[in-house]
Structure 1
Amino acid sequence: MGVLSSKCRSTARLDGKTVVITGCNTGIGKECVKEFYLRGAKVIMACRNLEKATSAQTEVEDECKNAPNVGSIQVVKLDLTSLRSVRECAKKISDNEEKIDILLNNAGVMMCPKDTTEDNFEMQIGTNHFGHFLFTLLLLPRIIASNSQPARIVNVSSMAHWRIFGGKMNFDDLNWKTRRYNSINAYAQSKLANVLFTKELARRLQEAGINHVHTYSLHPGVIKTELGRNLDQTFFKGVTFLFLTFTTFMCKSPQQGAQTSIYCSLSEDCAKETGLYYQECSKTNPSYRARNKEDAKRLWEESLLLTGLGPDYNFLNP
Structure 2
Amino acid sequence: MATILVTGSSDGIGLQTARTLIEAGHRVILHARSESRAEGLPSEAAGVVIGDLTSLDETKALAAAAGACDVVIHNAGVGGGQSEPVLTGDGVERIFQVNVLAPYVLTALVPWPARLVYLTSGLQSGGEVHFDDLSWRSRRWDGMQAYSDSKLYDVMLAFAVARRRPGTLSNTVDPGWIRTRMGGAGATGELSEGADTPIWLATSDEPAAKVTGRYFNRRQELRANPLAYREDLQEELLAACAELSGVKLPD
Which range, TM-score by smaller chain? over 0.9
CA displacement, residues 183-210 of structure 1 (integer Å, 9 cap, x when unaligned): 010001100010000000111113xxxx
Deviating more after overlay: 279-288 vs 191-200? 279-288
- Which of 189, 193, 199 is the equivalent residue of 2:149? 189
Spell out the pairing of 1:270-309 with structure 2 (5 A cutoff): 270-309=208-247
Spell out the pairing of 1:1-318 with structure 2 (5 A cutoff): 15=1, 17-58=2-43, 61=44, 72-94=45-67, 99-113=68-82, 114-141=85-112, 143=113, 151-163=114-126, 167-206=127-166, 211=167, 213-228=168-183, 244=185, 247=186, 251-269=188-206, 270-309=208-247, 313=248, 315-316=250-251
* TM-aligned CA deviation for residue 314 of structure 1: 5.7
Answer with 1 or 2: which has the greater Rg.
1
The 4+ residue runs of structure 1 with deviation greater than 6 A are none
Deviating more after overlay: 258-267 vs 126-135? 258-267
Equivalent residue letter for 2:37: K
* TM-aligned CA deviation for residue 49 of structure 1: 2.7
CA displacement, residues 259-279 of structure 1 (integer Å, 9 cap, x when unaligned): 111111112233431011000
Compute the TM-score of the two structures, normalised by the length of structure 2. Answer: 0.93
Structure with the bigger percentage of helix: 1
Identity %: 29
* TM-aligned CA deviation for residue 79 of structure 1: 1.0
Equivalent residue letter for 2:58: S
Contact 1:161–1:192 (8 Å) recurs in 2: yes
Equivalent residue letter for 2:9: C
Deviating more after overlay: 264-273 vs 284-293? 264-273
Aligned to 1:6: none
Gaps of 5+ in 2: none
Provide the secondary structure at the position in 2 that maps to 1:262.
helix
Contact 2:108–2:249 (8 Å) recurs in 1: no
Contact 1:216–1:275 (8 Å) recurs in 2: yes
Q: How many residues align?
A: 248
Contact 2:238–2:249 (8 Å) recurs in 1: no
Contact 1:112–1:124 (8 Å) recurs in 2: no
- Higher-RCO chain (CA-CA 8 Å, sequence separation at least 6): 1
Compute the TM-score of the two structures, normalised by the length of structure 1. Answer: 0.74
